[in-house]
Amino acid sequence: MIRTKSIFDFPGIDFSDINFNLEGNETQKSEDCLKNPEVELSEEIKSFRKKNKEFQATNDHETYLIVCFSCKDDKKEFLKNVGLEKSHTLIDGYEMAKNINLKPDRPSFKLSEPLDK
């Protein structure tokens, strides 16, 4: 499905160094977290605050476009028809979902019928 749900202007969150390949680093991270969740959480908060401060120090705001595609063809079609500017960062929701095994290949429920008689 192509749906531009929103363009988020996330002040204070810098996505540039987040690794979206969750099968890799994040799995290891979760295991560490299970061992000592409090330490892990406080480190996360510290790190977030630091990044937030750095971000607030700059006046730049980047625009992020999060789109969920139902297949690769949809993505190609979307990119062909919608010009992304340099300041836009595309976050591919379909790829993200696949990486965390959400099985995005088919919808989980049937939409109700249109109301036309």
Partner 1 sequence: MKQINPEIFDLLKQQQKVTLGFSGGKDSLACAVILKALEINFIPFYFYLCPELFFVEKTLTTYEKLLDIKIIRLPHPMLYDFLRHNDFMPPPMIEYLCSLNLPKLTFENLVDCYIRSTGDNNIYYDIVGMRASESFNRRKFFKKKQNGIDHITKKIFPVFDWNKSDVLQLLKEKNIPLSDDYKIWNRSYDAMKYQFLFGVKKHYPEDYEKIKEYFPLIDLEIFRYDQNKKYF
Q: Which of 34, 59, 85, 86 binds partner 1 (CB under 8 A)?
A: 85
Q: Which of 17, 34, 103, 111 binds partner 1 (CB under 8 A)?
A: 111
Cross-strand bridge partners of residue 80:
none
**Residue 20, number of CB atoms within 10 A of its CB:** 13
Query: Is 5 exposed, middle or buried, given 0-12, 13-18 or 19+ CB atoms closer than 10 A?
Result: exposed
Q: Does 59 bind partner 1 (CB under 8 A)?
A: no
Whether the CB-CB separation of 55 and 12 falls below 8 Å is answered with: yes
Q: Does 84 bind partner 1 (CB under 8 A)?
A: yes
Q: Does 107 bind partner 1 (CB under 8 A)?
A: yes
For residue 29, what is the enclosing H or E element?
A: helix 27-35
Q: Closest separation between CB of residue 65 and partner 1, Å?
A: 6
| Distances, alpha carbon 83 to alpha carbons 10, 28, 51, 76, 89, in Å | 21, 37, 30, 12, 12
Q: Closest separation between CB of residue 55 and partner 1, Å?
A: 17
Residue with Cβ nearer partner 1 (31 or 73): 73
Q: Which of 6, 21, 30, 56 binds partner 1 (CB under 8 A)?
A: 6
- Both tokens of 9, joined, read 């202007």
Binding site for partner 1 (CB under 8 A): 1-7, 9, 63, 65, 70, 82-85, 87-88, 106-107, 110-117
